[in-house]
Amino acid sequence: MNKEGQDNSRRDALKTMFRGAGLMGLGGMVWGGMADGLKASELSLRPPGALKEKDFVKACIRCGSCVEACPYDSLVLATPDDNTAIGTPYFEARKIPCYMCTDVPCVEECPSGALDAALLSPKDENLAESMDINKARMGIAVVDQNNCIAFWGIQCDACYRACPLIGEAITLDFRRNERTGKHAYIEPVVNREICTGCGMCEHACVTEEPSIIILPVEVASGKVGAHYVKSWENKNDNKLNGATEKVNSDASAAEDYLNDSESLFDD
């Protein structure tokens, strides 16, 4: 009897433990899924000096100090229906772009380090006073060439004129209009090395929906892979140091592929 009682209590303890672990697992799945889902979009434009999106949502404590510091009310804190990590700051360029304050109050006010003055400062100096707003990389302007009326031959340079780095971040490209034979296309071209993603161009665009759109750098960028070598760039071919002449592919495969007729009629 006594022995049985002991066995039962051990069994009960095990059951309770398993149930507890199960509850934790269930809670973890639901909660984790919800939190990860709510993080959602990587399309949000972050304030200047923001860390990379993945680090930014970690680091931001959601205090809203940057929003309060923004004199143009560009920055807002995300609410649950904004498709951005809740409580983190972002701006919609079409509504109110970043007006590029030279003293960058949003970064200066950020207490957590999610907005990092070092990203806007020269490498050797880390001081808030040395911040240069033109170093901001909030996003990159991308032109929709199908809907930009300049690409139709209509003369419009609204984005070019609105750009705070006029002639640098957006330049105008002149091209002969073969359709009329006597006019020019005057097309806006974005220089991705210089564009800060402030969004004044998107704000100024005259089409019903903007035809020049700011996308976060990570969204708007491709990636070539490490094996490409730019021989025309100084020291880029250092990548080849230590490379061997050994070829990894089977040379006979290239010679035989036509003789091996089966592969031609595979489908």
Partner 1 sequence: MILNRFLMISIVKRNRYLILRRLVQFSILVSFIGTNKWGWTFLVGNLSAARVLDSFYLADPYAVLQIFASGFIVSSDLLVGAFIVLIFYATIGGRAFCSWVCPLNIITDSAAWLRRKLGFNFSSDNLRIKRSIRYWVLLLGLVLSAILGLSVFEMVSPIGMLHRGLIFGFGMGWAIVISVFLFDLVVMKNGWCGHFCPLGGFYSLSGKYALIEVKHKVEKCSDCMDCFKVCPEPQVLKIVTKLSGMIDAGECTNCGRCVDVCADSALIFSLKNIK
One residue of 7, 15, 17, 28 binding partner 1 per CB under 8 A: 28
Q: What is the C-alpha separation between 135 and 122, in angstroms, rounded?
A: 9
Alpha-carbon gap, residue 117 to 110, rounded angstroms: 9
**In this chain, which of 41, 62, 134, 191 binds partner 1, going by CB under 8 A?**
62
If you ran DSSP here, which 8-state letter would residue 79 be given? P
85 vs 120 by CB, closer to partner 1: 85
- Which position among 59, 149, 172, 217 is part of the footprint of partner 1 (CB under 8 A)? 59
Minimum CB distance to partner 1 smaller for 126 or for 155 = 126
Contact with partner 1 (CB under 8 A) among 1, 2, 5, 36: 36
| Least distance from partner 1 to the Cβ atom of residue 238, Å | 32
Binding residue (CB under 8 A) for partner 1 from 43, 86, 184, 220: 86
Question: Is 31 among the residues that bind partner 1 (CB under 8 A)?
Answer: yes
Stretch touching partner 1 by CB under 8 A, among 109-117, 124-132, 157-165, 233-241: 109-117
Contacting partner 1 (CB under 8 A), which of 22, 32, 122, 167? 32
Q: Does residue 117 touch partner 1 according to CB under 8 A? A: no
3-state SS assignment for residue 171: strand
Q: Is residue 105 at the binding interface for partner 1, with CB under 8 A as the rule?
A: no
Contact pick of 63, 96, 119, 194 for partner 1 (by CB under 8 A): 63
Structure tokens at 79: 């609410």
**Both tokens assigned to 264:** 């031609």
Cα pseudo-dihedral 123, 124, 129, 134, rounded to 10: -20
122 binds partner 1 (CB under 8 A): no
CA proximity to 107, closest of 126, 124, 79 = 126
- Candidate list 1, 2, 5, 81; residue touching partner 1; CB under 8 A: 81
**Cα 131 to the chain's mean position, in Å?**
22
> Closer CB to partner 1, residue 84 or residue 211?
84
Strands (E) in the chain, as ranges, are 76-77, 89-90, 140-143, 170-177, 183-190, 212-215
Owner of token pair 């972002």 = 90
Nearest alpha-carbon partner for 88 in 46, 52, 48, 127: 46
Nearer residue to partner 1 within complex by CB, 35 or 229: 35
Q: Other C-beta atoms within 10 Å of 91: how many?
A: 26
* Angle CA 162–165–171, to nearest 5: 80
Report the interface residues with partner 1, using CB under 8 A: 20, 23-24, 27-28, 31-32, 34-36, 38-39, 54-55, 57-59, 61-65, 67-68, 76-82, 85-87, 109, 111-113
